[in-house]
Structure 1
Amino acid sequence: MKSPPALAVLSLAGLIAWGAQAAQPRSAGINDPDTRAWWEIAETLSSDAMEGRDIGSPGHHRAALVVAARFKAAGLKPAGDNGTWFQKFPVHESRVETAGTSFNVWRDDRSATPLRFLHDITVRPTDTLPASLDAPMTFRGYCAPSDLAEAAGKVVICFNTKRAGLPSGAQRVQAAQAAGAAGIVQVDDPYFTIEPPRWPAAYARSVAIAGSPAPAAAAMPVMTLSADAFRTMVAGSGRDTQAILKLGGAKQPLPSFDLPGRLKAQFHLTKRDFTAENLLARMPGRDPKLAGQNLVLSAHLDGYGYGEPVNGDGLYNGTLDDAAYVGTLIRFADKHRGKPLRRSVVFAAFTGEEKGLLGAHWFVEHPTVPKTSMVADINLDQLRPLFPLTILTQLAEDQTSLGRTARLVAGTMNIRIQADPEPERGLLQRADHWPFMQAGIPATGFIFGYLPGTDAERRYREWYQIRYHRPQDDVTQPMDFDAAGAFNRFFYLLAEAVADADEAPVWSR
Structure 2
Amino acid sequence: MIAGLMALALGAAGPADADTKAWWQTTATLSNDAMNGRDTGSADYERAARIVADRFAAAGLEPAGEDGSWFQRVPMEQLAVTGATILAGTTPLAFLYDIMLAPAPGMAERLVAPIAYRGYCRPADLGNVRGKVVICHGTHRTGLPSEAERQAAVKAAGAAAIVMIADPGFAVEPPRWPFAYARTVWLAGSAPAAEPMLRFTLNADALGKLIGGGGHDPAALIAAGAAGQPLPSFDAAQPLRVSVALERKAISAPNVLALLPGRDKTKHNQAIILSAHLDGYGPGEPVNGDGLYNGTLDDAAYVALLIRTAERAHEKGYKRPVIFAAFTGEEKGLLGARWFVGHPTLPKAYIAADINLDQLRPIFPLDLLTVHGLDDTTLGADARAVAGGMGVAVQRDPEPERNLLRRADNWPFMQAGIPATGFVFGYRPGSESERIYRQWYRTGYHRPQDDLAQPMDWKAAADFNRFFYALVERVADQDAAPAWVAGSGLKPTP
Short-chain TM bin:
over 0.9
Pick aligned residue for 1:46 from 18, 28, 31: 31
The alpha carbon displacement at 1:166 in A equals: 2.2
The alpha carbon displacement at 1:459 in A equals: 0.5
Q: Runs ≥4 in structure 1, deviation > 6 angstroms?
A: none
* CA distance in structure 1 between the partners assigned to 2:152 and 2:195 by the alignment: 8
1:8 aligned residue: none
The alpha carbon displacement at 1:250 in A equals: 2.1
Counterpart contact for 2:105–2:195, Cα < 8 Å: no
* CA distance in structure 1 between the partners assigned to 2:224 and 2:405 by the alignment: 28
Which is worse superposed, 22-31 or 498-507?
22-31
**1:472 is matched by which residue type in structure 2?**
Q
2:104 aligned residue: 126
Residues 78-124 of structure 1 deviation map (CA, whole Å, 9 limit, x = unaligned):
000000000002110000113xx111011xxxxx1100001100101
SS at match of 1:289: helix
Matches within 5 A, 1:231-250: 231-250=208-227
Counterpart contact for 2:366–2:464, Cα < 8 Å: yes
1:194 aligned residue: 172
SS at match of 1:342: coil
Pick aligned residue for 1:357 from 334, 343, 358: 334
2:67 is the counterpart of 1:82: yes
**1:59 is matched by which residue type in structure 2?**
D
Pick aligned residue for 1:170 from 148, 157, 168: 148
| Matched residues, number | 484
**1:74 is matched by which residue type in structure 2?**
A
2:116 aligned residue: 138
Residues 421-465 of structure 1 deviation map (CA, whole Å, 9 limit, x = unaligned):
000001011000000000000101000001111111111011010
* CA distance in structure 2 between the partners assigned to 1:24 and 1:58 by the alignment: 26
**1:398 is matched by which residue type in structure 2?**
D
SS at match of 2:131: coil
Counterpart contact for 1:173–1:218, Cα < 8 Å: no
Pick aligned residue for 1:209 from 184, 187, 195: 187
Pick aligned residue for 1:306 from 278, 283, 289: 283
Matches within 5 A, 1:315-326: 315-326=292-303
**1:349 is matched by which residue type in structure 2?**
A
1:416 aligned residue: 393
* CA distance in structure 1 between the partners assigned to 2:303 and 2:408 by the alignment: 14
* CA distance in structure 2 between the partners assigned to 1:475 and 1:253 by the alignment: 45
* CA distance in structure 2 between the partners assigned to 1:381 and 1:175 by the alignment: 34
Which is worse superposed, 411-420 or 147-156?
147-156
* CA distance in structure 1 between the partners assigned to 2:49 and 2:333 by the alignment: 19
* CA distance in structure 2 between the partners assigned to 1:246 and 1:81 by the alignment: 54
SS at match of 1:276: strand
Pick aligned residue for 1:55 from 40, 57, 71: 40
2:8 aligned residue: 25
2:492 aligned residue: none
* CA distance in structure 2 between the partners assigned to 1:136 and 1:342 by the alignment: 65
1:4 aligned residue: none
2:491 aligned residue: none
Counterpart contact for 2:62–2:258, Cα < 8 Å: yes
Counterpart contact for 1:93–1:205, Cα < 8 Å: yes
2:432 aligned residue: 455
* CA distance in structure 1 between the partners assigned to 2:343 and 2:10 by the alignment: 38
2:81 is the counterpart of 1:103: no
Residues 163-220 of structure 1 deviation map (CA, whole Å, 9 limit, x = unaligned):
33322222222211110101110011111111000111000001110112x4434311
**1:21 is matched by which residue type in structure 2?**
G
For structure 2, list consecutive stretches of 5 or more residues without a partner in the other structure. 489-494
1:181 aligned residue: 159
The alpha carbon displacement at 1:35 in A equals: 0.4
2:54 is the counterpart of 1:69: yes
Q: 1:59 to 1:454 in 2, by over 3 A?
A: same
The alpha carbon displacement at 1:23 in A equals: 4.4
**2:114 is matched by which residue type in structure 1?**
P
The alpha carbon displacement at 1:222 in A equals: 0.4
* CA distance in structure 2 between the partners assigned to 1:148 and 1:231 by the alignment: 20
Matches within 5 A, 1:274-313: 274-313=251-290
1:265 aligned residue: 242
**1:209 is matched by which residue type in structure 2?**
L
* CA distance in structure 1 between the partners assigned to 2:74 and 2:166 by the alignment: 35
**1:479 is matched by which residue type in structure 2?**
M
SS at match of 1:97: strand
* CA distance in structure 2 between the partners assigned to 1:74 and 1:371 by the alignment: 25
* CA distance in structure 2 between the partners assigned to 1:90 and 1:371 by the alignment: 20
For structure 1, list consecutive stretches of 5 or more residues without a partner in the other structure. 1-17, 107-111
* CA distance in structure 1 between the partners assigned to 2:350 and 2:142 by the alignment: 37
Counterpart contact for 2:115–2:211, Cα < 8 Å: no
The alpha carbon displacement at 1:26 in A equals: 2.1
Residues 350-378 of structure 1 deviation map (CA, whole Å, 9 limit, x = unaligned):
00000000000000000001111111100
Residues 140-161 of structure 1 deviation map (CA, whole Å, 9 limit, x = unaligned):
1111222222011110000011
Counterpart contact for 1:105–1:115, Cα < 8 Å: yes
Which is worse superposed, 285-294 or 358-367?
285-294
TM-score by length of 2: 0.96
Counterpart contact for 1:292–1:373, Cα < 8 Å: yes
Identity of aligned residues (%): 57
The alpha carbon displacement at 1:405 in A equals: 0.8
* CA distance in structure 2 between the partners assigned to 1:219 and 1:379 by the alignment: 36
2:405 is the counterpart of 1:428: yes
* CA distance in structure 2 between the partners assigned to 1:165 and 1:440 by the alignment: 31
* CA distance in structure 1 between the partners assigned to 2:5 and 2:388 by the alignment: 40
**2:51 is matched by which residue type in structure 1?**
V
Report the RMSD for the aligned CA atoms in angstroms.
1.2
* CA distance in structure 1 between the partners assigned to 2:419 and 2:87 by the alignment: 49
**1:169 is matched by which residue type in structure 2?**
E
Residues 8-48 of structure 1 deviation map (CA, whole Å, 9 limit, x = unaligned):
xxxxxxxxxx6443444322432111100000011110011
* CA distance in structure 2 between the partners assigned to 1:120 and 1:234 by the alignment: 13
* CA distance in structure 1 between the partners assigned to 2:194 and 2:98 by the alignment: 23
SS at match of 1:347: strand
Q: 1:346 to 1:145 in 2, by over 3 A?
A: same
The alpha carbon displacement at 1:246 in A equals: 2.0
Q: 1:167 to 1:217 in 2, by over 3 A?
A: farther
Pick aligned residue for 1:151 from 129, 132, 135: 129
* CA distance in structure 2 between the partners assigned to 1:412 and 1:477 by the alignment: 30
